[in-house]
């Protein structure tokens, strides 16, 4: 049975969708090579316990004007975990540059320097005391019909990002690293474009 708090749409959000000022967003792709592996699902949460899934059908033209309007609106903050990949996926397939990005993975790396694990599962457990499953991470997201377990997994990837942002933001302020974090967030879109251009495994700032 499908979770009533998970709402599934085809190819775009509905016209009457109201995102609010802050949304959590994630993506599911067929694989990790964005030149080869298509964008299959985008999931959004407004922090209200509901998840809104956009499934892109095989052969989709990725028009998605309502989703694009949210991504490009600088007044709406978008929370990601490892934003570098997700905004690259949106740029590659939807052709838009995401504005006003917040990345919980970067915030964690800048503040939780005592830890060596910064994955979403690790953050949910250590910061929120919540255990989440990553079992469906490598499932077939290009399937014409998403299974209930896939939809639950996709929802889990965004449902806790608002709370994580709140906790990590407090740590950034406490450790006087918020300014550096904000500058990192501003650079993410450029970093993602460099990935797509072929500099994904190279540090262009390195001496050698």
Mean pLDDT of 19-46: 97
The runs of H, that is alpha helices, within 46-196 are: 65-71, 83-93, 104-111, 120-123, 148-159, 161-174, 178-194
Higher pLDDT, 134 or 169: 169
What predicted TM-score, i.e. pTM, was given to this entire model? 0.95
Q: Which strands make up the sheet holding 6-10, listed edge to edge?
A: 6-10, 51-55, 39-45, 22-29, 77-80, 101-103
Query: Could you say which DSSP state residue 199 is in?
Result: I
Q: Look at residue 2 in the predicted model and tell me its pLDDT.
A: 72
DSSP-derived 3-state class of residue 131: coil
Output b/e per residue, 29-52; b: 16+ Cβ within 10 A. Answer: beeeebeeebbbbbbbbbbeebbb
Greatest alpha-carbon span in the chain: 55
Mean pLDDT of 42-55: 97
Q: Look at residue 137 in the predicted model and tell me its pLDDT.
A: 63
Mean pLDDT of 13-27: 98
Spell out the residues 6+ positions from residue 37 whose beta carbon is closer than 8 angstroms to its own.
29, 30, 31
Angle between helices 104-111 and 178-194 (to 10 degrees): 130
For residue 132, give the nearest of 104, 160, 106 by alpha carbon: 160
Spell out the residues 6+ positions from residue 198 whose beta carbon is closer than 8 angstroms to its own.
none
DSSP-derived 3-state class of residue 66: helix
Spell out the residues 6+ positions from residue 207 whose beta carbon is closer than 8 angstroms to its own.
none
Q: Look at residue 202 in the predicted model and tell me its pLDDT.
A: 87
Q: Look at residue 208 in the predicted model and tell me its pLDDT.
A: 79
Q: Write down all domains in the chain, each with its CATH number in brackets.
A: 6-199 (3.30.420.10)
Output b/e per residue, 111-133; b: 16+ Cβ within 10 A. Answer: bbeeeeebebbebbeebeeeebe
Higher pLDDT, 82 or 205: 82
Mean pLDDT of 40-62: 97
Cα-based distances in Å from 111 to 55, 64, 72, 78: 34, 36, 28, 20
Predicted confidence (pLDDT) per residue in 107-162, tens digit: 999 999 999 999 999 999 999 999 987 665 678 999 999 999 999 999 999 999 99
- The average confidence (pLDDT) of the chain is 95
Residue 1 pLDDT exceeds 80: no
């Amino acid at each position: 049975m499908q979770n009533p708090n998970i709402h599934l749409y085809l190819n775009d959000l509905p016209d009457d969708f109201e995102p609010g000022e802050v949304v959590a967003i994630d993506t599911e792709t067929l694989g990790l090579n964005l030149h080869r592996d298509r964008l299959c699902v985008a999931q959004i949460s407004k922090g209200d316990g509901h998840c809104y899934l956009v499934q892109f059908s095989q052969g989709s033209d990725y028009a998605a004007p309502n989703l694009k309007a949210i991504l490009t609106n600088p007044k709406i903050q978008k929370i990601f975990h490892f934003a570098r990949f997700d905004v690259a996926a949106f740029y590659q397939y939807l052709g838009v540059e995401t504005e006003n990005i917040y990345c919980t993975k970067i915030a964690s790396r800048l503040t939780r320097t005592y830890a060596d694990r910064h994955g979403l599962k690790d953050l949910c457990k250590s910061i929120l005391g919540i255990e989440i499953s990553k079992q469906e991470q490598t499932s077939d997201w290009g399937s014409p019909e998403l299974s209930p377990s896939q939809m639950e997994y996709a929802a889990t990837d965004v449902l806790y990002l608002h709370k994580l942002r709140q906790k990590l933001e407090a740590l950034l302020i406490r450790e006087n690293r918020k300014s550096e974090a904000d500058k990192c967030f501003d650079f993410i879109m450029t970093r993602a474009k460099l990935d797509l251009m072929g500099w994904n495994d190279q540090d262009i700032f390195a001496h050698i």
